[in-house]
Amino acid sequence: DVPRASKQIIKGIPAILKEIRKNGLPNYLLIKKLSGKLGYGIFLHPKAKPILKGEPIAPYSGKVSLCPQNTWNDSNYIFSLISDLRLTKEEQHKWDPTRRYHPRRFYSVDLDAYEKGNFTRFINHSEKPNVEAEFVQIPSNSEGLLPAPFELIYVAKKTILPGEQLLVCYEGDDKSYWGALKIKPFPMTPRTFLLKR
């Protein structure tokens, strides 16, 4: 049930990937240290042109692994790509040999950018995001993108203006991210740390 990537995503991603491989960060973006314990943030360069609604930012990348659901993981960089998977005894022995087989154990395929990934791991949380995560299927194409059954792509949820911080909402519909961590997030908006020209 994964939708096909839009033409805008398929056309835009190859150039973004080329920039990531060359520079680590597209030249129209900046990474900046935020105040206090907030870490880093990604900003649209103050002299760049706006990023329009629907334009791709970049694929979210990291280590893909199969994990039992409801087990503690202290990484703050995980997306669950597929959940509620049940494995046969043979599959569990192959993919999770240290655990005793249980037919009702659920697994998920997780994408974790804690140890490796691209700049998207520094896009911070906001209740008023200007970026959203889209699960898409990459079909055969003439743009040089490898076909994939699913890919997690960050896209502009609305127009991002020069100097604004790129922000995404970490919470899903189940509101399980911040509650599970017992943290009240810093109330950031795209203009909280606006960069001036």
Of 30, 28, 50, give the one whose Cα is nearest residue 160: 50
Q: Left, alpha or beta for 182 (phi > 0: left; psi -120 to 50: alpha)?
A: left
Question: Cα 165 to the chain's mean position, in Å?
Answer: 15
Q: Please choose, from the candidates 171, 190, 188, 182, the residue with its C-alpha nearest in 3D space to the C-alpha of residue 74.
A: 182
Q: pLDDT tens digits for the chain (197 residues)?
A: 789 999 999 999 999 999 999 999 999 999 999 998 889 999 999 999 999 999 999 999 988 888 888 776 655 667 777 788 899 999 999 989 999 999 999 998 887 877 888 999 999 999 899 999 999 999 999 999 999 988 999 999 999 999 999 999 987 655 555 555 566 788 999 999 999 98
> How far does Cα 1 stand from its chain's mean position?
19
Output the six-digit token pair for 95.
Answer: 């993919």
